[in-house]
Amino acid sequence: MSNETTFYGVKEIARRANVSIATVDRVIHNRSGVSEKTKKKINDIIKELDYQPNILASRLASRKIISLAVLIPKVSEETDFWESPLKGISRAETEIKKYGVQAIPFFFDLNDRNSFNAKADLILEGNFHGVLLAPSFVEEAKQFTEACYSRKIPFTFIDSDLPDQHNLCYIGPHLYQSGYVGAKLLTYRLKERHKVLVINISRATDNYNYVQIEEGFRSYFKDHKLPGDIIRVDIQDTDNLSVSRELTKVLNDHEGIQAIFVTNSRVFAVAKFLEKSKRDDISLIGYDFLKENINYLENGLIDFLICHKPEEQGYRGLMSLYETLVLGTRIEKVQFMPIDIITKENQAFYMN
Amino acid sequence: MSNETTFYGVKEIARRANVSIATVDRVIHNRSGVSEKTKKKINDIIKELDYQPNILASRLASRKIISLAVLIPKVSEETDFWESPLKGISRAETEIKKYGVQAIPFFFDLNDRNSFNAKADLILEGNFHGVLLAPSFVEEAKQFTEACYSRKIPFTFIDSDLPDQHNLCYIGPHLYQSGYVGAKLLTYRLKERHKVLVINISRATDNYNYVQIEEGFRSYFKDHKLPGDIIRVDIQDTDNLSVSRELTKVLNDHEGIQAIFVTNSRVFAVAKFLEKSKRDDISLIGYDFLKENINYLENGLIDFLICHKPEEQGYRGLMSLYETLVLGTRIEKVQFMPIDIITKENQAFYMN
DNA sequence: CTCTGGTTCGGGTACGTACCCGTAAATATA
DNA sequence: TATATTTACGGGTACGTACCCGAACCAGAG
């Protein structure tokens, strides 16, 4: 701490190179109008002095505003999960607004691929300096980010990753391992043979997220050679009635189910069903720190929630663009969020 | 997001008040030399415009360096827990160094109250603008912080709290609830009557932290009316041999112990003992994300670790002083850290 | 030779705030 | 009334960088 190094500025560079400040400035921002010779001379001095621009002065002098676009699902009745990332994004924005950065949100419908495309086109027209997006629709997102790449607009993924793209970074969970943790918790107190149920409640059953999670979940059983059955159910209609109907059926068909794992935040729907049908003998685990889920955690119907810090994802996502565009910092390309375990007892202190 | 509000500066205030910028400046920093009348006029305008000073310009123009003192235990052979807060503090420092803030660390010995006093005196002589400290010794810390208070030096507590002091804020765990969570995890798969062991490994057995944790731990059993025994052992000598001797004795005296709860980070010492004596039938829970603990988590001897984000504590602690002294932000007086649950499966992604 | 156009560069002002220095007015002191 | 002291305020410069505006210079065309 407090290593006393003197900071040199453009003035010193100009002095040493026998040129004006303006010329140094031109080199730093590689604008035109500088001969190769002086350019080299100045660059050498910059390296020698390990010049670090003063962001304060830089942002103060530059009156231009940096605009960042945010492309995420809208908060629907279906799930208010996306409230959290948005909150984090807002927090980041207020923090960097004073440096002349603004963020413009674009919301798409998770049940409508076209809405994604429409908003993406709007962003491309908008001449933004950077983009933060949730690549929920794989093909559409790839197309969009390729357009960004060719326009040299940096972009960051949150919530789920698209490997091998030209993204600045990915900030989100390691989904496979998250499912793995879910399996561990689910089986932690199951003694002999188990009989567990995996439920996917979503219109889009082919969603990349769920596939990854379930893979991790099943791997745990394989790795630990746990004997027993894993039953699997897809529920495409997300209303309470449909969920109730499907669950009744499944629990009738398969007797002796001891535990249920829900692959997303709609675990509260299952909790509601278990509450009504008075099945408090079944352990229940699901995702995300939503109010409804917390309620069922409180009254014991949900045993554990797993959460990946959605607010932090939004915050960091926007900051990653700020750090790149304004500060010029190097960013870690993959930043996995922790796989947080939430129980009735520690939920009051959770940081989303 | 992006609510377009025009920012007004001192210049505009000066214009409206029919005074010079210098006078406005005097009012803002309530320096002397302004008549009550103009002072009021300017203050009214400041309120009306909801004036927010431009930190960039402010820190740029002010060449004075703000010095913060950090008073925490030194990293000893006994425990390298304090590495993490220090890391967080360093991270915060590099982040705010560009705004002319520096942090000077002072380390005391957890086994020597006098070393705390000595360093505290050094800090008082040093004319610092703010102090971040871990009040490990209650009486000594009270005396020190009172001196800070009378000198109007703001100070923040981390790791443990001293209620009713004039501290800026406390950033750390809710110890009672943390013990409560420990009990939950410990008993989660114990079916019938339990027989559990609580171990406190530390020279200072009267430490405020441990007392609080144990209280929470025991409350869980009371609240859930769990039948069974809680055995308690104090181990004052922290070397492996002593730990081994004490544990052998206790496990002989009390047969059928199913689980052990260690109230601090020295749980690895217990794990080592269990490993040697091949007692993998006993569940083990303890504190903190230390390398040694993680190793035992990996090979299954430790079931859960509880952790309170020590690095984050250090980071936030220093930032709280920065936010107060530089930004003039209001700070939450009590900021509880989450009670994180770490297992073999999610440890790779934990954020300390 | 002059004229044009491009290249290369420096002077100077601005960003919003901090603070030194000087001065006019008000008040106290002789 | 003359002088000293205090009070209240304004002018102006500096912080480090961005960028506009023009100037000097050079090459080639006429």
Residues of B with CB under 8 A from a CB of A: 1-2, 54-57, 59-60, 70, 89-90, 93, 98-99, 102-105, 174, 177, 180-181, 184-185, 188-189, 220, 336-341, 343-346, 348-351
- Residues of chain B in contact with residue A346, where contact means CB-CB under 8 angstroms, are 177, 181, 338-341
Residues of chain B neighbouring A93 (CB-CB closer than 8 A) = 1-2
C-alpha B201/C-alpha B213 separation (Å) is 13
List the B39 CA – C25 C1' distance (angstroms).
18
Cα B259 to Cα A29: distance, rounded to the nearest angstrom? 63
Q: Determine the Cα–Cα distance for residues B50 and B44; give it in Å rounded to an integer.
A: 10
Backbone angles phi, psi at A229, to 5 degrees: -115, 145
pLDDT, residue A15, reads 92
Q: CA of B57 and C1' of D14: distance in angstroms?
A: 12
Residue whose C-alpha is closest to residue A157's, from A91, A93, A209, A100: A209
Q: Å from A59 (CA) to D7 (C1')?
A: 39
Compare CB distances from A337 to B189, B337, B349 and report the shortest one's residue. Answer: B349
Interchain pair A346, B348: CB under 8 A: no
Distance from CA of A193 to the nearest CA of B (A): 15
Choose, out of B190, B339, B342, the residue to mutate when testing the contact with A (most A CBs < 10 Å). Answer: B339
Q: Hey, CA dihedral for A82, A88, A92, A97, is it positive or negative? A: positive
pLDDT truncated to tens, each residue of chain B (352 aa)? 554 456 788 999 999 999 999 999 999 988 888 999 999 999 999 999 988 888 888 888 887 888 999 999 999 866 789 999 999 999 999 888 877 889 999 999 988 889 999 999 999 998 899 999 999 888 999 999 999 999 889 999 999 999 889 999 999 999 999 999 999 999 887 767 788 999 999 876 567 778 899 999 999 999 998 888 899 999 988 888 889 999 999 999 998 898 999 999 999 999 999 999 998 889 999 999 999 999 999 999 999 999 999 999 999 999 999 988 887 778 899 999 999 999 999 999 999 8
Contacts of A336 in chain B (CB under 8 A): 349
Per-residue burial over A191-221, b if 16 or more Cβ lie within 10 Å, else e, is: eeebebbbbbbbeeeebbbbbbbbebbbebb
Measured CA to CA, the distance from residue B261 to residue B270 in angstroms comes to 10
| C-alpha to C-alpha distance for A81 and B142, rounded to whole angstroms | 44
Per-residue flag: B94 CB under 7 A of strand D: no
Q: Residue B181: closest CA among chain A residues belongs to which residue?
A: A345
For testing contact with chain B, the best of A72, A98, A99, A344 (most B CBs within 10 A):
A98
Length of chain A (residues): 352
Give the pLDDT confidence score for residue B1 in this predicted structure: 59
Q: Which residue is nearest to nucleotide C17 (CA to C1')?
A: B58
Q: Tell me how far apart the 2 most distant CA atoms of chain B are, in Å.
A: 86
> Which pLDDT score, from 0 to 100, does residue B194 have?
81
For testing the chain B interface, which of A346, A350, A351, A352 should be mutated: the one with the most B CBs within 10 Å?
A: A346
- Nearest to residue B312, comparing CAs of B92, B162, B105? B92
Give the one of A1, A98, A102 whose C-beta lies nearest to B93's C-beta: A1
- B64 CB less than 7 Å from any atom of strand D: no
Residues of A in contact with B102 (CB under 8 A): 1-2
DSSP string, B133-177: E---SHHHHHHHHHHHHHTT--EEEESS--TTS--SEEEE--HHH
Instruction: List C-alpha distances in Å: A119 to A58, A71, A114, A137, B269.
Output: 33, 8, 9, 13, 57
CA distance A85 to A73: 10
For B56, the closest of A59, A89, A90 (CB atoms) is: A59
CA/C1' separation A14–D23 (Å): 19
Does the distance separating the beta carbons of B99 and A181 come in below 8 Å? Answer: no
Residue A103 forms beta bridges with which residues?
A68
Q: Write out residues in chain A with pLDDT < 50, as ranges.
A: 3-4
Strand D atom within 7 Å of B56 CB:
no
Per-residue CA distances from A15 to A26, A27, B219 (Å): 15, 15, 70
Residue B14's nearest nucleotide, by CA–C1', is D10
- Chain C bases closer than 7 angstroms to a protein Cβ: 7-12, 14-21
- With 0-12 / 13-18 / 19 or more C-beta atoms within 10 angstroms meaning exposed / middle / buried, residue A275 is middle
Structural domains of chain B sorted by starting position, each given as residue range(s) with its CATH number in brackets: 10-53 (1.10.260.40), 66-172+310-337 (3.40.50.2300), 175-307 (3.40.50.2300)
Do A349 and B343 lie within an 8 Å CB cutoff?
Answer: no
- State which residue of chain B sits closest to A86, comparing Cα positions: B1
Q: Which residues of A touch B93 (CB under 8 A)?
A: 1-2
Matching residue, tokens 């799930």:
A79
Asked if B180's CB is within 8 angstroms of A56's CB, the reply is: no
A67 forms bridges with which residues in the sheet? A102
Distance from CA of B123 to the nearest CA of A (A): 16
A51 contact partners, CB below 8 Å, separation of at least 6: A8, A9, A10, A13, A45
